[in-house]
Amino acid sequence: MDLKLFGEVFVTLLVIVDPPGMMPIFLALTGPLPARDRNRAAWQAVALALGVIVVFAVAGQTLLAYLHVDLPALQAAGGLLLILVALELLTGKADDPSQQVTSNIALVPLGTPLLAGPGAIVATMLFVQQSEGVGQVLAIAAAIVAVMLAVWVVLRFSGGIVKILRPGGIEVLTRIAGLLLAAIAVQLIADAVAAFVTQYVNMS
């Protein structure tokens, strides 16, 4: 296995996924839930993110080409999804645990597009395209699994913070997380628009 490539992929994906930055958003979305449901949401989100990244690593270019979808379109779609979630957090609609379904939270927005977002997908696809030989492919696969394990550890043990914050602190954290999510969403859409503009300028 190519250890140097393993390190490159691990660091790149870890920076993109940003587990510490993901923690407040995870706590805002799952704070009102029981500990058991919160833990289940953590592993479901990580499992989905791993599955999405692996699928795009193996067949990403083929899939997007078949659907006639450019990467910026995927990025803009992720941004729109995050805006919807951010609005729920900012307006307080996400505060009622009776309105939340654990599996839904784990799938969208935690699993995708937060963990398996456009950045992680594109980075993985590029690493796979540039890989040569079984050793490098194994290094990329091992790095992806290692990053997802690191994310799971952070999310799994973030429950202790919920006990410290209590309901009032979680409510404040929810509003902050909503604002952060909105900013991430706007940045994703802005980057997608810029990529589209650059693409059509180069074509003309």
- What tens digit of pLDDT does each residue of 29-69 get? 887 788 889 999 999 999 999 999 999 999 988 998 899 98
Domain that holds residue 131: 3-203
d(CA 132, CA 52): 22
d(CA 31, CA 34): 8
**How many CA atoms are closer than 13 Å to the CA of 82, on its beta-carbon side?**
29
Q: Tokens 């490159």 identify what position?
A: 8
CB 30 within 8 A of CB 105: yes
Sign of the alpha-carbon torsion through 29, 125, 68, 201: positive
Residue 4 pLDDT: 94
Residue 35 pLDDT: 86
Q: Tokens 């307006």 identify what position?
A: 91
Residue 55 pLDDT: 95
User: What confidence tens digit (pLDDT) does each residue in 103-149 have?
Assistant: 678 888 889 888 998 889 989 998 998 898 999 999 999 999 999 99
Q: What percent of the chain has pLDDT over 90?
A: 39
User: What average pLDDT is seen over the chain?
Assistant: 87
Dihedral, CA atoms, 21, 24, 30, 33, nearest 10 degrees? 140
Question: How many independent structural domains does the chain possess?
Answer: 1
